[in-house]
Amino acid sequence: MQTNSLALTVNRLTHAYAGQPAVEDVSFEVAAGEIAALLGPSGCGKSTVLRAIAGLLPVAPGVISLGGKDLSPLPGRDRGIGMVFQNYALFPHMTVARNVAFPLRMRRFPRADQAARVRDILALVGLSEYAERHPRELSGGQQQRVALARGLVFNPDVLLLDEPLGALDKNLREQMQVELKRIHREVGITMVYVTHDQTEAMTMSDRIAVFNHGTLEQVAPPLDVYHRPRTRFVGEFIGDSNFFTGTIDPAHRGRVDVDGLEPIPVDPEACRRLGASRVDVLVRPERVQLGGHGVPEVLSMKVSVIVNYGDSVLVIGDARGHAVRMRIAGAQPEAIREGATVTVGWAPGDAHLIPRASG
């Protein structure tokens, strides 16, 4: 297979079920060869968008195009798009080889070439020796590979994956994430991947589209979404977070005044760029440190819960009614114990400002 050079564009997509909008005015682009994750809570519209791209749902209004060509008039089978479903949707009465060959038969692929094509794709996913088995004779991970092979066998321009790892246990899911990345690297195909798992989206994708109640909140590379979320929802949904709501002090552009707390130090240039008065200040827990030794002392908190993960320690405390979370790499410091009061802080540049909507 060769790397695909066609970009996928979704422009102002809207779809409703029984008159109730499922997605509204959704627009984004996936560059050729990227893995894009559609991320959000259950019922946010991400699977609706995926099904619309596949041609399983009508688009009205909106345009879905591939390499500049409008796909709307085309039935799903003629769009050059493969799909892997969450439940795999394998035919139980067919062998692995026949399941994988099915899209080739439906597209009238030359019969003489079908066997070689199936053999190549089964080798790619590591299932050559299982060609004559039936789905019931395979593990969940192996069935997922069969579904993946079936989605790739006809060399589609885009591969859609609807929570394909959702039915797997944690260890197997992580193994399959590595395998999907390997296959993507070897094949070079554009993938659009639906998931509600933030960690999976961060580790798997080149770009994340975050959905909330049928609207698109942000589209950006994973680290941008994590460190520079556009909205509070994105900041709360992706990873762990500390949020403080306050007002930019016009006389001191390097701080935000928070009710009941000391002023929060922030980047003065960020204040100037924002120009807003009411803001949410996001500080990731791994940026919070014990005060002193060069670390600004921002606030005092009483430690309420300590969670030891082995490679890190999550400390949850209370600062005058504000919940504060601090993640410390390595072993638990002696000063940290439940019931203790500690001073914590962070560098001004580690605080990200998000303007609050008026009203």
Query: Does residue 195 form part of some domain?
Result: yes
Domain termination site, one of 198, 227, 256:
227
**Domain boundaries, position 133:** 8-227
Do residue 97 and residue 70 come from a single domain?
A: yes
Q: Is residue 3 part of a domain?
A: no
316 DSSP β-pair partners: 305, 325
265 & 189 share domain: no
What 3-state DSSP class applies to 252? Answer: coil
- Average pLDDT (81-104) is 92
Residue 71 lies in a domain: yes
Neighbours of 285 (CB within 10 A): 19
Q: Are residues 218 and 258 in the same domain?
A: no
Residue 1 lies in a domain: no
* Same-domain check for residues 251 and 335: yes
- pLDDT at site 217: 96
Tally Cβ neighbours within 10 Å of residue 341: 11
CB atoms within 10 A of CB 203: 14
Residues 192 and 275 in one domain: no
Residue 269 lies in a domain: yes
Residues 139 and 282 in one domain: no
- Please check whether residues 58 and 126 belong to one and the same domain: yes
Specify the CATH number for the domain of residue 186.
3.40.50.300
CATH number for 330: 2.40.50.140
pLDDT score recorded for residue 4: 54
Give the confidence band of 107 by pLDDT, cuts at 50, 70, 90.
confident
Same domain as 273, residue 128: no
| CB of 15 closer than 8 Å to CB of 21 | yes
Question: In 10 A of CB 300, how many CB atoms?
Answer: 17
Checking phi first, is residue 59 left (phi over 0); if not, alpha (psi -120 to 50) or beta? beta
Same domain membership, residue 277 and residue 321: yes
Q: What's the CA gap between 82 and 68, in Å, rounded?
A: 19
Residues 6+ apart with CB under 8 A from 108: none
Span 28-41, pLDDT tens digits = 999 999 999 999 99
CA–CA gap between residue 172 and residue 180 (Å, rounded): 12
For residues 268 and 40, give the distance between their C-alpha atoms in angstroms, rounded to a whole number: 32
Q: Is residue 235 part of a domain?
A: no
CB-neighbour burial class of residue 20 (10 A; exposed 0-12, middle 13-18, buried 19+)? exposed
Q: Which of the listed residues 227, 250, 277 is the one where a domain comes to its end?
A: 227
Same domain? 212 vs 150:
yes
Shortest CA distance to 164 belongs to which of 152, 155, 154? 152
Is residue 148 in some structural domain? yes
The predicted model gives 79-102 an average pLDDT of 92
pTM reported for the whole predicted model: 0.90
3 state SS of 277:
coil
Question: Which of 1-10, 19-28, 144-153, 269-278 is least confident?
Answer: 1-10
- Determine the pLDDT at residue 2: 46
What is the model's pLDDT at position 312?
A: 93
- Residue after which a domain boundary falls, among 167, 201, 227: 227
Number of Cα atoms under 13 Å in the Cβ half of residue 77: 8
DSSP string, 97-164: HHHHHHHHHHTT--HHHHHHHHHHHHHHTT-GGGTT--GGGS-HHHHHHHHHHHHHTT--SEEEEEST
Query: Model confidence over 296-354: pLDDT tens digits?
Result: 888 999 999 999 999 999 999 999 999 999 999 988 888 899 999 999 999 999 999 99
Phi, psi of 287 (to 5 degrees): -90, -15
The string of pLDDT tens digits covering residues 179-238 is 889 989 999 999 999 998 898 999 999 999 999 999 999 999 999 999 999 999 999 999
Residues 193, 73 share a domain? yes
Tokens of 109: 């692929």
Q: Which of the pair, 83 or 172, is modelled with greater confidence?
A: 83
CA 21-22-23 angle, to 5 degrees, is: 95
Any domain includes 349:
yes
Do 247 and 196 lie in one domain? The reply is: no
Q: Is 358 helix (H, G, I), strand (E, B) or coil?
A: coil
243-266 tens-digit pLDDT: 999 999 888 888 899 988 989 989
In the predicted model, is pLDDT for residue 1 greater than 50?
Answer: no
Q: How far apart are CA 27 and CA 50, in angstroms?
A: 13
Instruction: State the total domains in the chain.
Output: 2
